[in-house]
Structure 1
């Protein structure tokens, strides 16, 4: 029987959903100068609006992962996409600082479950030698969003005003939620588009839970006492802190510190995100090839994870001291692009060490990442206001050292050991 490849169609749908999730986030950043002028907001005010999103987003990471494990990825993802699309559209109705804070906070709650749920879906729908590549679709969609987001958002703003951006993207989000509900299944064998040959390939080497067994809640006592459980969370705090500095402040930084116009900023701001997307896909492909060739997961994931942070911090330092706008954008592109090594390694490693509880582990990891997202907008705004943009960029650059140290403690070759079962490695 010729094997179907419907799992890769689902990877493209995952790409589309995460693409939309980041388009919805970056829209506020691009519209920030116009919103600041219309409502009289300061940089610190905008920092708090960004933080409201990240706070809601961070709070739903762990519950979102656990919901995906308990209720299934299909329900968790459909509800998440529908929820955030509603509050994306409602952003157009913001009329005061308080209303913007409430709407963006609720928007963050909706986006919270999507990455843990999608990671859980990838764990169940892809062969163990395909997981890093599949993760690159999830991450690549997220990082393509900011590539096209600035230019598309600027175009819509110039043509129809900033409110149109949020209404249009909210509507598209509802379409994607409907597509996911119709096509996604918790078990690939339940899908009419997956034949037996594809299902057998997906499950080759995978240890499956008994479908008749009672549903389990993640073993938090085992997780919370694991060094690598904390290490993967803290390294992702640093990784996301750096990325969210770009997401929240790159458009305004390019206009204020580098003198770009609104139209030129839309183009320049896309280069770092394009590099991040390319490196993420490249890393996923190479990582899976290395593991298929016999290289240990520990070497593949840990090398890429730590090297990405080291390169990102070094390039960010060079961007801070660059003497021309062109050189600044070049180093910013290298810096954010380098994080592609770390992002892919992080999500693949969370599946490696989490096993069937990878939704919870990736939720924990992304929770810490988005605590970085809570801190980054306000901390960067405060440093930039009091000490200038160069100081804000330098602080971000040196934070990468902490993440490199944390990667040393992550051991992707072995799942986090549960205290209620015998020690030993588990294949998945």
Structure 2
């Protein structure tokens, strides 16, 4: 027994750690992509003023991105399955940068809508490329943390975009902001091509010990089967059970577990995207903050989201023993509570800042679990299809909710918006309760 422990320790010490370099590239790339989509929030009041657009029209502009982003998910999943992420991801990054630059050249509202729609198509393959890369580059016990870090990058992009965008607008104008945000992507496309192969064993920087660890074949893991913790009554509520891996695209599309997860993600993504697109307008028009104050305060939900994604991923992996539903449920309930709190939010700078930071943290505790969940149901070859279905549903919610918000603001008030978002989070909880919590399955090591 002692010899086995020494052997496992020796393997760990000799194991390369290149998968964490890959994750670092994923985080930086997705942070930039998220900033490219989030910068519309700080620019929106200026675009509305220049072109005389109503709130409903502004909602359509925001939703145009997410509509085409959603429609592009499933085709992107099949393309990634055929061509691999080493080719697809750099092309998607490059196109994202080009279209972001074009938004800054638009001279009528119709062209901005066209370019925002094109941005959705350009970015559609990015989250699937990154989730597929995580699925291939990380063992089961690290996927929650890695996915949490990946999704925290989206929040970091949303943290960067408002203050940086506000500073550029103050110094120049909103068009210059889009042009500046477009530049780094071209370099990052090359970095991805150089550093992220499709498969760990094809990478010269990954030794055999790390490749075995990624495939769950290290000596420590090839002995007696890991005994899963029993959570008793909680497991009955979660419907914790062994499920056969979804081994074909047809089985993925026929699985209610995948659809239920996707519908829950649709509703929670809607909440996130309303905050992303409309929060600066709320802070300036309702709370009457100055532009640079708006820039920093609008970033706070996403700063909280960075912490929430990482803590939630770790909690799901380590404390909950890879169970994903509990954190989804926590986020849904907590988000509803925070939306009610925002209805009665005070006008003080500190109070609003703390409330928005807390909202972002609680909303994102379980946000990464919606993406990790289907990893426990699929093989590595079918995961891109499952991820594309879940993400397509999620981004459909991202398209619908900002549009509904625009109509609610034209007809009612921000109180109606926050009530709408609270109802969305409770509906997400209802869908999550209908799906099973998959116990560990005998997943093939490679697809």
The answer, yes or no, to whether TM exceeds 0.5 is yes
Q: Once structures 1 and 2 are overlaid, which stretch shifts more, 54-63 or 328-337? A: 328-337
Matching residue of 2:375: 351
Find out whether 1:279 has 2:308 as its counterpart: yes
- 1:317–1:328 distance in 2 versus 1, CA, 3 Å: farther
2:147 matched to 1:122? no
Q: Does 1:382 align with 2:394?
A: no
Question: In the alignment, what sits opposite 1:72?
Answer: 84
What residue in structure 2 maps to residue 162 of structure 1?
Answer: 174
For residues 48-85 of structure 1, the C-alpha deviation after alignment (integer angstroms, 9 at most, x for no partner) is 11111111100111111221122111112111111111
Q: Which runs of 5+ in 1 are unaligned?
A: 207-216, 416-423
Structure 1 contact 320–328 (Cα < 8 Å) conserved: no
Aligned to 2:269: 240
Q: How far apart, in 2, do the equivalents of 1:301 and 1:329 lie? A: 29
What secondary structure sits across from 1:189 in the alignment? helix
Tell me whether 1:133 sits opposite 2:156 in the alignment: no
SS in 2 for 1:192: coil
Indicate the RMSD between aligned Cα atoms, in angstroms. 1.9
Q: Specify the SS of the correspondent of 1:200.
A: helix
Cα pair 1:316 1:332 within 8 Å, conserved: no
1:189-200 alignment to 2 at 5 Å? 189-200=201-212
| Higher deviation after alignment, 308-317 or 197-206 | 197-206
User: Does the residue aligned with 1:347 lie in a helix, a strand or coil?
Assistant: helix
Which residue does the alignment assign to 2:434?
A: 409
Change over 3 Å in CA distance of 1:107–1:410 after alignment to 2: same
How far apart are the structure 1 equivalents of 2:253 and 2:16?
A: 40
| Structure 2 residue aligned with 1:8 | 20
Alignment of 1:319-334 (within 5 A): 319-326=342-349, 327-334=351-358
- Scaled by the length of structure 1, the TM-score of the pair is 0.90
Q: Is the 8 A contact 1:313 1:400 kept in 2?
A: yes
8 Å CA contact retained: 2:378, 2:443: no
Structure 2 segments unaligned to the other structure (5+ residues) = 1-10, 219-245
Once the two structures are TM-superposed, the CA of residue 328 in structure 1 deviates from its matched residue by 4.1
Q: Which residue of 2 aligns with 1:269?
A: 298
SS in 2 for 1:65: helix
Q: Give the SS at the match of 1:131.
A: helix
1:187 aligned to which of 181, 199, 204? 199
Q: What residue in structure 2 maps to residue 148 of structure 1?
A: 160
Query: Of 290, 301, 308, which aligns to 2:331?
Result: 308
Tell whether the 8 Å contact from 1:236 to 1:368 is kept in structure 2 after alignment. yes
Corresponding position of 1:249: 278
Aligned length: 404
Bigger-Rg structure (1/2): 2
